[in-house]
Amino acid sequence: MWKCLFHGVCAALAALCGLTHGAGAAGEPTLTLLVFDRPPFYRLKDGRPEGGFLLDNTLAFLERARIPYVVEEMPPGRVLSTFRDRDTVACAVGWFKTPDRAAFARFSVPISRDRPLAVAVGAAPCPDKATLADFLAAKPHWGLRNAFSYGPQADALLAALPEGRLHRLSDPARMLPLLAKGRLDAVLIEPEEFSWRTGQDKALAAAVRLCPLADAPPGNLRHVMCDLSVSPDVLARLDAAIGEFMGEAAQRGRQLAAMRH
């Protein structure tokens, strides 16, 4: 029932609004690409794609693979519950691959690697060579994104903390302003997101700073995460398109580097 209802609604939206993209084989089901607004990775305006390097690249992968798709806005917690609880021909952009997610989803080859995870704090100087455990011992109240993984190492350390010290927010745009106001003591954040948000607000940039973690592992890999209802053939075409796109991007990078010398 859920499966029929979900696909019926998506088909109706595509027919009425002309939102279907890509050019698949006749009779191929339209894939629903689930996205939420989180700059600089993905940007939406009125529920439609508005940029963000991971979203732009993923749309290019789907076009290259000739996979028909529609874009739907959905918060991350609901993405996970949707994939767990019902069959949907749907994928989501830019997710970490974790053991629990692998039980109910398929993952593409990597589409990006983040810079190493860091900690945002108030305007005080960053401690020298502090580890995540050092920060967790020194900072009582932490801002975290709801329904997100920060990677195996950070997730394990956070799981050992009393829940009362963790403030999970659905809207990541609120975390740095709360930190600047002193309502949070620290925020785990990717440097890419910190740079974008502070670049949009000079007052915010003056009130917070980004501290590196001495023990941060290499940045997490991001994937396109798909429901198990997405066929292996579709995922293989997506992986092939990602490989071609990344290979061409690397070649362009080498050419540009050669031009500078």
Nearest to 31 by CA among 78, 88, 80: 88
Residue 15 belongs to what domain range? Answer: 2-113+221-260
What is the model's pLDDT at position 19?
Answer: 53
What is the model's pLDDT at position 170?
Answer: 87
Question: What are the residues facing 222 on neighbouring strands?
Answer: 112
- Same domain, residue pair 156 and 107: no
Beta-carbon neighbour count of residue 246 at 10 Å?
A: 16
- Same domain, residue pair 200 and 227: no
Question: What are the residues facing 190 on neighbouring strands?
Answer: none
Give 176-209 as a DSSP string. Answer: HHHHHTTS-SEEEE-HHHHHHHHHT-HHHHHH-E
The residue to which tokens 């917690």 are assigned: 77
Q: Which among 212, 231, 252 is the end of a domain?
A: 212
Q: Which amino acid is at 204?
A: L
State whether the Cα torsion 72-74-76-80 is positive or negative: negative
- Same domain, residue pair 188 and 228: no
- Same domain, residue pair 126 and 229: no
pLDDT at residue 258 is higher than 90: no
Q: How many domains does the structure of the chain reveal? A: 2
CA-CA distance, 251 to 24, in Å (whole number)? Answer: 28
- Same domain, residue pair 16 and 97: yes
More confident residue, 238 or 8: 238
What is the model's pLDDT at position 240?
Answer: 98
- Same domain, residue pair 8 and 94: yes
| pLDDT-based confidence at residue 249 (cuts at 50, 70, 90) | confident
Q: What is the mean pLDDT of the chain?
A: 89
Are 145 and 187 contacting, i.e. CB atoms less than 8 angstroms apart? no
User: Alpha carbon of 60 to those of 51, 71, 241: distances in Å?
Assistant: 12, 13, 9
CATH number assigned to the domain comprising residue 129: 3.40.190.10
- Same domain, residue pair 29 and 155: no
- Same domain, residue pair 232 and 109: yes
What is the model's pLDDT at position 237?
Answer: 98
pLDDT at residue 210 is higher than 90: yes
- Same domain, residue pair 104 and 45: yes
- Same domain, residue pair 8 and 109: yes
pLDDT at residue 26 is higher than 80: no
Are 179 and 87 contacting, i.e. CB atoms less than 8 angstroms apart? no
Q: Which tokens belong to 62?
A: 């789907």
- Same domain, residue pair 149 and 191: yes
- Same domain, residue pair 123 and 174: yes
CA-CA distance, 57 to 76, in Å (whole number)? Answer: 19
| pLDDT-based confidence at residue 23 (cuts at 50, 70, 90) | low
What is the model's pLDDT at position 252?
Answer: 81
What is the model's pLDDT at position 256?
Answer: 74
What is the model's pLDDT at position 129?
Answer: 94
According to DSSP, residue 236 is labeled H
Quick one: what percent of the chain has pLDDT higher than 70? 90
